[in-house]
Amino acid sequence: MSQFFEQALVAKLQAIPELAAILGAWNNAAAIFKTSVPQTYDYGRNGPALTYFVAEKPMGHVLTGSDGTAVANTMLAVSSYSYGQSKTAIEAIWNDIDGVPGQWGDGTCEIISVVQQDDSDQVTEPKAGSDQWLYACVCEYRIFYRVSIPSLV
């Protein structure tokens, strides 16, 4: 049984040493969250956090059916009180995954290619009672990977 793409993605991100050195901690693990950072996360105490979101995963097809591929349109964002930390973390991800095929996660998710689609910066005004601006660096990737071909019964 192969890993789900999302599990392999998180494992790959956790395995990037430069990223692990920047990201904060949450419950004794790197601060990597699906979709959004919990409201109780304290950037001041815990440091930067990464979120991931897989917008869609269309499967590849040929005339006879599945071609055994899929593409995950994936958004990664690193947020922190320091623009420099957010940007450095996003660069560490790009340096490690852009264009590189191979096995991710437990080795059962075969990556065909990774193509960066977009890169943007965002800033969020301080919450009431705070003077801390939140800086987010966001990258969008198209990650092509292999899937099993359904058998005809």
Task: Please indicate, yes or no, if residue 30 is contained in any of the structural domains.
Answer: yes
CATH of residue 49's domain is 3.30.2000.10
The larger pLDDT score, comparing residue 17 to residue 1, is at 17
**Is pLDDT of 1 > 50?**
no
Query: What residues contact 15, with CB distance under 8 A and at least 6 apart?
Result: none
Task: Summarize pLDDT for 4-14 with one digit per residue, the tens.
Answer: 999 999 999 99
Length reported for the chain: 153
Radius of gyration (C-alpha) of the chain in whole angstroms: 17
Tell me the C-alpha distance between 26 and 14, whole Å: 13
Q: Domain containing 126: what range? A: 5-146
Q: Find the largest Cα–Cα distance for the chain.
A: 62
